[in-house]
Amino acid sequence: MSYRRSLFVLMLMLAVLFAACASAAGGDLPAQMREIETTTAETTTETTTEETTTEKLLTPVDVNVMMIGDMLLHTNVQKSGIMSDGSYNYDHLFEHIQEEIEWADLAVVNQEVIIGGKAIGIKSYPCFNCVEEVGDAIVKAGFNVVLHATNHTWDMGEKGLTNCLNYWKENHPEEIVLGVHATQEDADKITVWEKDGFKIAMLNYTYGLNGFKVTQGKEYLVDLLDKDKVTDDIRRAKEQADFVIVFPHWGTEYTFKADEMQTEWAQLFAAEGVDLVIGAHPHVVEPVEWVESSQGNRTLVYYSLGNYVSAQDKAYTMLGGMAKVTIHRDEHGEVSISSYDAVPLVTHRGDGSAKSFGTYILTEYPESKAKKNKVIAKDSRFSIEYVTNLWNKTMGEEFAIQTDGE
Protein backbone atom coordinates (compact mmCIF):
# COMPACT_ATOMS: atom_id res chain seq x y z
CA MET A 1 0.00 0.00 0.00
CA SER A 2 2.73 2.44 0.99
CA TYR A 3 4.66 1.48 -2.14
CA ARG A 4 1.60 2.12 -4.26
CA ARG A 5 0.98 5.40 -2.51
CA SER A 6 4.54 6.61 -2.96
CA LEU A 7 4.34 5.55 -6.60
CA PHE A 8 1.19 7.60 -6.89
CA VAL A 9 2.90 10.62 -5.33
CA LEU A 10 5.75 10.20 -7.78
CA MET A 11 3.27 10.07 -10.63
CA LEU A 12 1.60 13.22 -9.39
CA MET A 13 4.90 15.01 -9.23
CA LEU A 14 5.71 13.85 -12.73
CA ALA A 15 2.29 14.94 -13.84
CA VAL A 16 2.71 18.40 -12.41
CA LEU A 17 6.10 18.64 -14.07
CA PHE A 18 4.71 17.54 -17.40
CA ALA A 19 1.76 19.84 -17.06
CA ALA A 20 4.12 22.71 -16.44
CA CYS A 21 6.11 21.73 -19.53
CA ALA A 22 2.93 21.47 -21.50
CA SER A 23 1.85 24.93 -20.32
CA ALA A 24 5.18 26.42 -21.22
CA ALA A 25 4.96 24.82 -24.64
CA GLY A 26 1.40 26.08 -25.03
CA GLY A 27 0.08 22.49 -25.05
CA ASP A 28 -3.16 21.20 -23.56
CA LEU A 29 -3.43 20.35 -19.91
CA PRO A 30 -4.51 16.84 -19.02
CA ALA A 31 -8.23 16.36 -19.13
CA GLN A 32 -8.42 13.54 -16.64
CA MET A 33 -6.00 13.79 -13.78
CA ARG A 34 -7.14 10.51 -12.27
CA GLU A 35 -5.64 8.68 -15.21
CA ILE A 36 -2.15 9.72 -14.24
CA GLU A 37 -2.03 6.93 -11.70
CA THR A 38 -0.04 4.32 -13.62
CA THR A 39 2.69 3.48 -16.13
CA THR A 40 5.40 6.04 -16.39
CA ALA A 41 6.58 4.38 -19.59
CA GLU A 42 3.72 5.60 -21.73
CA THR A 43 3.76 9.05 -20.17
CA THR A 44 7.45 9.35 -20.92
CA THR A 45 6.84 8.29 -24.51
CA GLU A 46 4.14 10.92 -24.72
CA THR A 47 6.50 13.70 -23.66
CA THR A 48 8.92 12.84 -26.41
CA THR A 49 6.30 13.58 -29.03
CA GLU A 50 5.29 17.02 -30.21
CA GLU A 51 1.94 16.90 -28.47
CA THR A 52 2.83 16.85 -24.80
CA THR A 53 0.26 15.24 -22.55
CA THR A 54 0.17 13.65 -19.14
CA GLU A 55 -2.63 11.23 -19.94
CA LYS A 56 -1.57 7.67 -19.39
CA LEU A 57 -2.91 5.38 -22.06
CA LEU A 58 -4.55 2.16 -20.98
CA THR A 59 -4.38 -1.10 -22.84
CA PRO A 60 -7.61 -1.29 -24.83
CA VAL A 61 -9.74 -4.23 -23.70
CA ASP A 62 -12.57 -6.15 -25.32
CA VAL A 63 -14.73 -8.36 -23.15
CA ASN A 64 -17.06 -10.79 -24.87
CA VAL A 65 -20.15 -11.71 -22.88
CA MET A 66 -22.47 -14.49 -23.97
CA MET A 67 -25.49 -15.88 -22.18
CA ILE A 68 -28.05 -18.60 -22.72
CA GLY A 69 -31.52 -18.88 -21.17
CA ASP A 70 -33.22 -21.37 -18.92
CA MET A 71 -31.80 -24.79 -18.17
CA LEU A 72 -35.30 -26.10 -17.47
CA LEU A 73 -34.60 -29.71 -16.65
CA HIS A 74 -37.76 -31.75 -17.03
CA THR A 75 -37.54 -35.49 -16.40
CA ASN A 76 -36.74 -36.44 -19.99
CA VAL A 77 -34.02 -33.81 -20.26
CA GLN A 78 -32.45 -35.16 -17.09
CA LYS A 79 -32.87 -38.75 -18.29
CA SER A 80 -31.01 -37.88 -21.49
CA GLY A 81 -27.95 -37.62 -19.27
CA ILE A 82 -28.16 -41.20 -18.00
CA MET A 83 -25.65 -43.24 -19.98
CA SER A 84 -25.95 -46.97 -20.73
CA ASP A 85 -23.66 -47.84 -17.80
CA GLY A 86 -25.85 -45.85 -15.41
CA SER A 87 -23.47 -42.93 -15.06
CA TYR A 88 -24.59 -39.33 -15.66
CA ASN A 89 -23.23 -37.04 -18.35
CA TYR A 90 -24.78 -33.86 -19.75
CA ASP A 91 -22.06 -32.75 -22.18
CA HIS A 92 -24.43 -33.33 -25.13
CA LEU A 93 -26.57 -30.37 -24.05
CA PHE A 94 -23.81 -27.93 -25.00
CA GLU A 95 -21.99 -29.64 -27.86
CA HIS A 96 -23.58 -27.55 -30.63
CA ILE A 97 -22.75 -24.15 -29.14
CA GLN A 98 -19.14 -24.89 -28.22
CA GLU A 99 -17.71 -22.23 -30.53
CA GLU A 100 -19.91 -19.53 -29.04
CA ILE A 101 -18.85 -20.45 -25.52
CA GLU A 102 -15.19 -20.36 -26.50
CA TRP A 103 -15.70 -16.89 -27.99
CA ALA A 104 -16.78 -15.52 -24.62
CA ASP A 105 -14.73 -14.15 -21.74
CA LEU A 106 -17.86 -14.33 -19.63
CA ALA A 107 -20.07 -17.28 -20.58
CA VAL A 108 -23.27 -17.17 -18.55
CA VAL A 109 -25.93 -19.84 -18.04
CA ASN A 110 -29.28 -19.49 -16.31
CA GLN A 111 -29.42 -22.62 -14.16
CA GLU A 112 -33.15 -22.63 -13.47
CA VAL A 113 -32.91 -25.81 -11.42
CA ILE A 114 -31.11 -26.25 -8.13
CA ILE A 115 -28.26 -28.76 -8.06
CA GLY A 116 -29.37 -30.59 -4.91
CA GLY A 117 -27.58 -33.66 -6.20
CA LYS A 118 -28.12 -37.41 -6.09
CA ALA A 119 -28.89 -37.25 -2.37
CA ILE A 120 -32.26 -35.81 -3.43
CA GLY A 121 -32.47 -37.33 -6.90
CA ILE A 122 -34.00 -36.24 -10.17
CA LYS A 123 -37.15 -34.17 -9.63
CA SER A 124 -39.21 -32.40 -12.25
CA TYR A 125 -42.03 -29.86 -12.44
CA PRO A 126 -43.32 -28.28 -10.28
CA CYS A 127 -40.37 -28.72 -7.91
CA PHE A 128 -37.12 -29.48 -9.70
CA ASN A 129 -33.83 -30.98 -8.67
CA CYS A 130 -30.88 -32.23 -10.69
CA VAL A 131 -27.69 -34.19 -10.18
CA GLU A 132 -24.17 -32.83 -9.80
CA GLU A 133 -23.14 -33.88 -13.32
CA VAL A 134 -25.27 -31.05 -14.76
CA GLY A 135 -22.91 -28.61 -13.05
CA ASP A 136 -19.90 -30.59 -14.25
CA ALA A 137 -21.13 -30.32 -17.84
CA ILE A 138 -21.69 -26.56 -17.44
CA VAL A 139 -18.10 -26.10 -16.29
CA LYS A 140 -16.65 -28.49 -18.84
CA ALA A 141 -18.49 -26.69 -21.66
CA GLY A 142 -16.75 -23.49 -20.60
CA PHE A 143 -19.39 -21.50 -18.74
CA ASN A 144 -17.74 -19.49 -15.99
CA VAL A 145 -20.84 -17.72 -14.63
CA VAL A 146 -23.89 -19.58 -13.27
CA LEU A 147 -27.11 -17.78 -12.36
CA HIS A 148 -28.95 -19.41 -9.48
CA ALA A 149 -31.54 -16.81 -8.44
CA THR A 150 -34.68 -18.27 -10.06
CA ASN A 151 -38.23 -18.99 -8.99
CA HIS A 152 -37.08 -22.61 -8.50
CA THR A 153 -34.18 -21.87 -6.15
CA TRP A 154 -36.18 -22.97 -3.11
CA ASP A 155 -37.85 -26.01 -4.78
CA MET A 156 -35.95 -28.38 -2.49
CA GLY A 157 -35.88 -25.97 0.44
CA GLU A 158 -32.80 -25.04 2.38
CA LYS A 159 -31.36 -28.54 2.01
CA GLY A 160 -31.39 -28.36 -1.80
CA LEU A 161 -29.81 -24.93 -1.83
CA THR A 162 -27.18 -25.85 0.75
CA ASN A 163 -26.26 -28.96 -1.26
CA CYS A 164 -25.99 -26.77 -4.34
CA LEU A 165 -23.75 -24.19 -2.67
CA ASN A 166 -21.54 -26.95 -1.25
CA TYR A 167 -21.34 -28.63 -4.64
CA TRP A 168 -19.96 -25.49 -6.29
CA LYS A 169 -17.62 -24.68 -3.43
CA GLU A 170 -16.15 -28.18 -3.17
CA ASN A 171 -15.99 -29.13 -6.86
CA HIS A 172 -15.64 -25.91 -8.83
CA PRO A 173 -14.53 -23.14 -6.46
CA GLU A 174 -13.40 -21.01 -9.41
CA GLU A 175 -16.92 -20.85 -10.87
CA ILE A 176 -18.73 -17.52 -10.44
CA VAL A 177 -22.04 -18.45 -8.82
CA LEU A 178 -24.51 -15.58 -8.60
CA GLY A 179 -27.79 -15.00 -6.80
CA VAL A 180 -27.30 -17.44 -3.91
CA HIS A 181 -25.03 -17.22 -0.88
CA ALA A 182 -23.88 -19.46 1.94
CA THR A 183 -23.35 -16.56 4.35
CA GLN A 184 -24.40 -12.98 4.97
CA GLU A 185 -20.80 -11.96 4.41
CA ASP A 186 -20.85 -13.49 0.92
CA ALA A 187 -24.21 -11.86 0.17
CA ASP A 188 -22.82 -8.44 1.11
CA LYS A 189 -20.00 -8.74 -1.41
CA ILE A 190 -20.39 -7.43 -4.94
CA THR A 191 -19.04 -9.90 -7.51
CA VAL A 192 -16.47 -8.12 -9.67
CA TRP A 193 -14.65 -9.85 -12.53
CA GLU A 194 -11.57 -8.26 -14.02
CA LYS A 195 -9.60 -8.33 -17.27
CA ASP A 196 -6.52 -6.10 -17.73
CA GLY A 197 -7.74 -3.85 -14.95
CA PHE A 198 -11.18 -3.46 -16.53
CA LYS A 199 -13.75 -4.35 -13.88
CA ILE A 200 -17.20 -5.76 -14.49
CA ALA A 201 -19.73 -6.19 -11.67
CA MET A 202 -22.47 -8.80 -11.99
CA LEU A 203 -25.75 -9.07 -10.06
CA ASN A 204 -28.51 -11.69 -10.25
CA TYR A 205 -31.99 -11.53 -8.69
CA THR A 206 -35.30 -13.36 -8.86
CA TYR A 207 -38.78 -11.84 -8.54
CA GLY A 208 -39.82 -14.63 -6.17
CA LEU A 209 -39.67 -18.31 -5.20
CA ASN A 210 -43.00 -19.72 -6.40
CA GLY A 211 -44.64 -18.83 -3.10
CA PHE A 212 -41.88 -20.27 -0.91
CA LYS A 213 -40.05 -18.17 1.61
CA VAL A 214 -36.46 -18.75 2.66
CA THR A 215 -35.71 -19.75 6.23
CA GLN A 216 -36.34 -16.82 8.53
CA GLY A 217 -33.12 -15.09 9.46
CA LYS A 218 -31.35 -16.50 6.40
CA GLU A 219 -32.65 -14.05 3.82
CA TYR A 220 -29.10 -13.80 2.46
CA LEU A 221 -29.49 -17.24 0.86
CA VAL A 222 -31.27 -15.94 -2.26
CA ASP A 223 -31.11 -12.51 -3.93
CA LEU A 224 -34.63 -11.21 -4.47
CA LEU A 225 -35.70 -8.27 -6.62
CA ASP A 226 -36.19 -5.95 -3.69
CA LYS A 227 -35.99 -2.29 -4.68
CA ASP A 228 -33.93 -1.09 -1.70
CA LYS A 229 -31.50 -3.97 -1.87
CA VAL A 230 -31.07 -3.81 -5.64
CA THR A 231 -30.55 -0.04 -5.64
CA ASP A 232 -27.98 -0.30 -2.85
CA ASP A 233 -26.16 -3.16 -4.62
CA ILE A 234 -26.02 -1.26 -7.92
CA ARG A 235 -24.63 1.86 -6.24
CA ARG A 236 -21.90 -0.18 -4.55
CA ALA A 237 -21.25 -2.06 -7.82
CA LYS A 238 -20.75 1.23 -9.64
CA GLU A 239 -18.21 2.32 -7.05
CA GLN A 240 -16.25 -0.90 -7.42
CA ALA A 241 -16.46 -1.55 -11.16
CA ASP A 242 -16.32 0.14 -14.56
CA PHE A 243 -19.32 -1.71 -15.99
CA VAL A 244 -22.38 -3.20 -14.29
CA ILE A 245 -24.48 -6.12 -15.55
CA VAL A 246 -27.76 -7.20 -13.94
CA PHE A 247 -29.30 -10.61 -14.66
CA PRO A 248 -32.92 -10.43 -13.50
CA HIS A 249 -35.25 -13.44 -13.29
CA TRP A 250 -38.49 -11.67 -14.15
CA GLY A 251 -41.45 -11.19 -16.44
CA THR A 252 -44.62 -13.02 -17.40
CA GLU A 253 -44.39 -16.54 -18.73
CA TYR A 254 -45.27 -17.14 -22.39
CA THR A 255 -45.54 -13.47 -23.35
CA PHE A 256 -43.42 -12.26 -26.24
CA LYS A 257 -42.84 -8.76 -24.96
CA ALA A 258 -41.82 -7.08 -21.73
CA ASP A 259 -44.54 -6.70 -19.09
CA GLU A 260 -45.08 -3.73 -16.80
CA MET A 261 -42.86 -5.14 -14.07
CA GLN A 262 -39.98 -5.58 -16.51
CA THR A 263 -40.31 -2.11 -18.01
CA GLU A 264 -40.45 -0.53 -14.55
CA TRP A 265 -37.37 -2.41 -13.40
CA ALA A 266 -35.59 -1.61 -16.67
CA GLN A 267 -36.26 2.08 -15.99
CA LEU A 268 -34.79 1.72 -12.51
CA PHE A 269 -31.72 -0.06 -13.88
CA ALA A 270 -31.22 2.71 -16.45
CA ALA A 271 -31.71 5.43 -13.84
CA GLU A 272 -29.12 3.79 -11.58
CA GLY A 273 -26.62 3.58 -14.43
CA VAL A 274 -26.62 -0.17 -15.06
CA ASP A 275 -24.94 -0.79 -18.41
CA LEU A 276 -26.37 -4.13 -19.48
CA VAL A 277 -29.39 -6.23 -18.43
CA ILE A 278 -29.96 -9.80 -19.58
CA GLY A 279 -33.15 -11.40 -18.32
CA ALA A 280 -34.60 -14.86 -18.10
CA HIS A 281 -37.73 -16.74 -16.96
CA PRO A 282 -40.69 -16.25 -19.36
CA HIS A 283 -39.80 -19.50 -21.29
CA VAL A 284 -40.07 -17.59 -24.56
CA VAL A 285 -37.86 -14.99 -26.21
CA GLU A 286 -38.61 -11.32 -25.73
CA PRO A 287 -37.12 -8.29 -27.52
CA VAL A 288 -33.86 -6.44 -27.00
CA GLU A 289 -33.89 -2.67 -26.64
CA TRP A 290 -32.00 0.34 -25.35
CA VAL A 291 -33.78 1.82 -22.36
CA GLU A 292 -33.08 5.47 -21.61
CA SER A 293 -33.53 7.08 -18.22
CA SER A 294 -34.77 10.64 -17.75
CA GLN A 295 -31.17 11.63 -16.97
CA GLY A 296 -30.04 10.22 -20.31
CA ASN A 297 -28.42 6.98 -19.13
CA ARG A 298 -28.76 4.25 -21.71
CA THR A 299 -29.03 0.59 -20.77
CA LEU A 300 -29.07 -2.31 -23.22
CA VAL A 301 -31.82 -4.70 -22.14
CA TYR A 302 -32.41 -8.28 -23.27
CA TYR A 303 -35.81 -8.93 -21.68
CA SER A 304 -35.81 -12.71 -21.99
CA LEU A 305 -33.67 -15.36 -23.66
CA GLY A 306 -36.37 -18.02 -23.34
CA ASN A 307 -35.52 -21.64 -22.67
CA TYR A 308 -32.15 -23.08 -23.47
CA VAL A 309 -33.42 -26.60 -22.93
CA SER A 310 -36.75 -27.97 -21.69
CA ALA A 311 -39.36 -30.62 -22.38
CA GLN A 312 -42.22 -28.14 -22.49
CA ASP A 313 -45.12 -28.90 -24.80
CA LYS A 314 -45.56 -25.76 -26.86
CA ALA A 315 -43.69 -25.22 -30.12
CA TYR A 316 -42.76 -21.67 -29.09
CA THR A 317 -40.95 -22.87 -25.96
CA MET A 318 -38.42 -24.67 -28.19
CA LEU A 319 -37.15 -21.29 -29.45
CA GLY A 320 -34.50 -19.60 -27.33
CA GLY A 321 -31.91 -16.89 -27.72
CA MET A 322 -28.25 -16.35 -27.03
CA ALA A 323 -27.04 -12.89 -26.05
CA LYS A 324 -23.64 -11.88 -27.44
CA VAL A 325 -22.26 -8.56 -26.29
CA THR A 326 -18.80 -7.05 -26.70
CA ILE A 327 -17.80 -4.43 -24.18
CA HIS A 328 -14.88 -2.18 -25.08
CA ARG A 329 -12.65 -0.07 -22.87
CA ASP A 330 -10.47 2.21 -24.96
CA GLU A 331 -7.02 3.61 -24.14
CA HIS A 332 -8.61 6.65 -22.46
CA GLY A 333 -10.73 4.52 -20.12
CA GLU A 334 -13.97 5.16 -22.01
CA VAL A 335 -16.28 2.15 -21.78
CA SER A 336 -18.92 1.24 -24.33
CA ILE A 337 -20.86 -1.65 -25.78
CA SER A 338 -19.15 -1.96 -29.13
CA SER A 339 -21.38 -4.67 -30.55
CA TYR A 340 -24.33 -6.79 -29.54
CA ASP A 341 -26.32 -9.56 -31.06
CA ALA A 342 -29.05 -12.07 -30.34
CA VAL A 343 -28.62 -15.50 -31.87
CA PRO A 344 -31.66 -17.78 -32.27
CA LEU A 345 -31.44 -21.23 -30.68
CA VAL A 346 -33.72 -24.21 -30.90
CA THR A 347 -34.16 -27.08 -28.48
CA HIS A 348 -34.20 -30.50 -30.03
CA ARG A 349 -36.61 -32.33 -27.75
CA GLY A 350 -35.78 -36.00 -27.57
CA ASP A 351 -37.52 -38.99 -26.02
CA GLY A 352 -35.40 -39.14 -22.88
CA SER A 353 -32.99 -41.77 -24.13
CA ALA A 354 -29.28 -41.09 -23.69
CA LYS A 355 -28.17 -37.86 -25.42
CA SER A 356 -31.58 -37.46 -27.09
CA PHE A 357 -31.83 -33.75 -26.23
CA GLY A 358 -29.70 -31.02 -27.71
CA THR A 359 -29.78 -27.32 -28.45
CA TYR A 360 -28.74 -25.91 -31.81
CA ILE A 361 -28.15 -22.54 -33.35
CA LEU A 362 -31.38 -22.32 -35.31
CA THR A 363 -29.71 -21.67 -38.65
CA GLU A 364 -27.62 -24.83 -38.16
CA TYR A 365 -30.48 -27.10 -37.07
CA PRO A 366 -30.81 -29.93 -39.60
CA GLU A 367 -34.21 -30.28 -41.24
CA SER A 368 -34.00 -34.06 -40.73
CA LYS A 369 -33.69 -33.49 -36.96
CA ALA A 370 -36.46 -30.88 -36.88
CA LYS A 371 -38.89 -33.41 -38.36
CA LYS A 372 -38.14 -35.73 -35.45
CA ASN A 373 -38.46 -33.13 -32.67
CA LYS A 374 -40.64 -34.75 -30.02
CA VAL A 375 -42.51 -31.51 -29.40
CA ILE A 376 -44.40 -32.15 -32.67
CA ALA A 377 -46.48 -34.84 -30.97
CA LYS A 378 -47.66 -32.16 -28.50
CA ASP A 379 -47.81 -29.17 -30.85
CA SER A 380 -47.88 -29.89 -34.58
CA ARG A 381 -47.06 -26.26 -35.45
CA PHE A 382 -43.39 -26.91 -34.76
CA SER A 383 -41.05 -26.59 -37.75
CA ILE A 384 -37.92 -24.63 -38.59
CA GLU A 385 -40.12 -22.21 -40.53
CA TYR A 386 -42.45 -21.74 -37.54
CA VAL A 387 -39.67 -20.88 -35.06
CA THR A 388 -37.87 -18.73 -37.65
CA ASN A 389 -41.00 -16.67 -38.24
CA LEU A 390 -41.61 -16.40 -34.50
CA TRP A 391 -38.04 -15.21 -33.94
CA ASN A 392 -38.27 -12.60 -36.69
CA LYS A 393 -41.63 -11.34 -35.47
CA THR A 394 -40.53 -11.11 -31.83
CA MET A 395 -37.00 -9.80 -32.22
CA GLY A 396 -37.61 -7.44 -35.13
CA GLU A 397 -35.53 -6.53 -38.15
CA GLU A 398 -32.32 -5.87 -36.23
CA PHE A 399 -31.92 -9.55 -35.37
CA ALA A 400 -33.95 -11.12 -38.16
CA ILE A 401 -32.84 -14.37 -39.69
CA GLN A 402 -32.30 -13.84 -43.39
CA THR A 403 -34.37 -16.39 -45.24
CA ASP A 404 -33.67 -17.25 -48.86
CA GLY A 405 -37.12 -16.15 -49.90
CA GLU A 406 -38.06 -19.46 -51.39
Judged by the rule CB under 5 A, the positions of this chain that interact with Zn ion are 150-151, 281
Minimum distance from residue 75 beta carbon to Zn ion (Å): 17
Nearer Cβ to Zn ion (107/149): 149
Minimum distance from residue 32 beta carbon to Zn ion (Å): 43
Task: Output the residue with the shortest Cβ distance to Zn ion.
Answer: 281
Length of the chain in residues, anyone? 406
Omega of the bond leading into 126 within 30 degrees of 0 (cis)? yes
Nearer Cβ to Zn ion (54/150): 150
Minimum distance from residue 308 beta carbon to Zn ion (Å): 12
Burial of 156 from C-beta contacts in 10 A (0-12 / 13-18 / 19+): buried
Nearer Cβ to Zn ion (89/204): 204
Nearer Cβ to Zn ion (238/257): 257
Nearer Cβ to Zn ion (52/347): 347
Minimum distance from residue 249 beta carbon to Zn ion (Å): 6
Minimum distance from residue 210 beta carbon to Zn ion (Å): 9
Q: How far is CA 388 from CA 122, 182, 215, 385, 391, in A?
A: 33, 42, 44, 5, 5
Minimum distance from residue 129 beta carbon to Zn ion (Å): 15
Minimum distance from residue 121 beta carbon to Zn ion (Å): 21
Nearer Cβ to Zn ion (144/151): 151
Nearer Cβ to Zn ion (181/281): 281
